Structure 1
Amino acid sequence: MATTKWSLDPMHSEVQFKVKHLMITTVTGYFQTFNVEVETENDDFSTASQLVFTADVNSISTNNEQRDTHLKSADFFDTDTHGEIRFVGNRYEQTGGDSAKLHGDLTIKGTTKPVTVDVEFGGIVVDPYGQTKAGFTITGKISRKEFGLTWNAVTEAGSVVVSDDIRLNAEIQLVKQA
């Protein structure tokens, strides 16, 4: 079996997160700078021997500069010390059809925990430029407090400002390397 390397197509990929604010609305944020590198046997992603995702926390955007600055501070990500989020996949488990579970270790703010995300495999196609591409939709949920992101405040009525659960959504397109 031949080892196949896949790299991120950043023009056709996005990574976002969603968090409840005041427990009544959802705020969406994005990482504008991130990378994914994968090694498989041929084109079979269930054989992935290396899968590494990284995100530059300084590239965070919630469409609000004041909130983004707060997220980069020691109250949350502490980008002066912990500027990168890292996920290292260690098992791609087919669950039926194009669905899978991706198991791995997620590191945020110096804390590493096992995480499992849901993966929908979109398929492999050759684009008009002759590049072989693979597409994935990834969803999951983590507890921010488990990764040391514990800042919160309480409203006059007793509601929390930021929920513990963070929903993760990513659209990832990979390019097969020659």
Structure 2
Amino acid sequence: MAISWKIDPAHSEIQFKVKHLMITTVTGYFRNFDLEVETQTEDFSSASRIEFTAEIDSIDTNNAQRDAHLKSADFFDSENNKQIKFVGKEFNADGDKANLKGDLTIRGTTKPITLNVEYGGIVVDPYGQTKAGFTVNGKISRKEYGLTWSAVTEAGQVVVSDEIRLLAEIQLIKQA
């Protein structure tokens, strides 16, 4: 019998990091997201369905002008692409370390990626809910997903790197 899990948004965060001018890192977040997981066992070794979405319009880099640019056709084109989507295809666990292979869709382009997963364990919270925790990270090339806007400074410095680091702290709640 399948066990269903849903994300606890109050105790989870989805972020990305990108080099700016190749000398500093800018961090951004998606504030609205969803994740559903189905497993056959509570240890997640039998994860059979993993589906994640993030709302493009919820992007937050702590700068309204930059957020508007990221939502524009130069980047995510949120008018025509409402979500980023990840569908897990294969979960391979070895103790508290795992990798998750799946398809990531950004701006209508779907590519396979592999994410590193660190399993934090399962606990029952003070309200009787069973919760599981994970740290997830990986890297993608933004240009492979059609996010090709680029600029160069007068001195020849790249303004935004191609490599995007993905980081997520995930807490799931077991569904009754």
**Residue in structure 2 matched with residue 175 of structure 1 by the alignment:** 173
Give the % identical residues: 69
Matched, 1:28 2:17: no
Q: Residue deviations 1:22-59, cap 9 Å, x none? A: 00000000000000000000313121111000000100
**Residue in structure 2 matched with residue 45 of structure 1 by the alignment:** 44
State the alpha-carbon separation in 2 of the partners of residues 34 and 45 from structure 1.
21
TM-score under structure 2 length normalisation: 0.99
Please give the secondary structure, in 1, of the residue aligned with 2:57. Answer: helix
Residue type at the aligned position of 1:84: Q
State the alpha-carbon separation in 2 of the partners of residues 126 and 33 from structure 1.
25
Please give the secondary structure, in 2, of the residue aligned with 1:17. Answer: strand
**Residue in structure 2 matched with residue 82 of structure 1 by the alignment:** 81
**Residue in structure 1 matched with residue 104 of structure 2 by the alignment:** 106
What's the RMSD between the two structures over aligned residues?
0.6
State the alpha-carbon separation in 1 of the partners of residues 90 and 172 from structure 2.
18
Q: Residue deviations 1:91-150, cap 9 Å, x none? A: 1112x3200000000000000000000000000010000000000000100000000000
Structural mapping, 1:23-172, within 5 Å:
23-94=22-93, 96-172=94-170
Q: How far off its partner does 1:83 sit?
A: 1.1
State the alpha-carbon separation in 2 of the partners of residues 115 and 6 from structure 1.
22
State the alpha-carbon separation in 2 of the partners of residues 43 and 91 from structure 1.
17
Q: How far off its partner does 1:159 sit?
A: 1.0
* Runs of 5+ unmatched residues, structure 2: none
TM-score under structure 1 length normalisation: 0.98
Please give the secondary structure, in 2, of the residue aligned with 1:44. Answer: coil
State the alpha-carbon separation in 1 of the partners of residues 173 and 151 from structure 2.
43
Residue type at the aligned position of 1:58: D
Q: Aligned pairs, how many?
A: 176
Please give the secondary structure, in 2, of the residue aligned with 1:163. Answer: strand
Please give the secondary structure, in 1, of the residue aligned with 2:42. Answer: coil
Please give the secondary structure, in 2, of the residue aligned with 1:46. Answer: coil
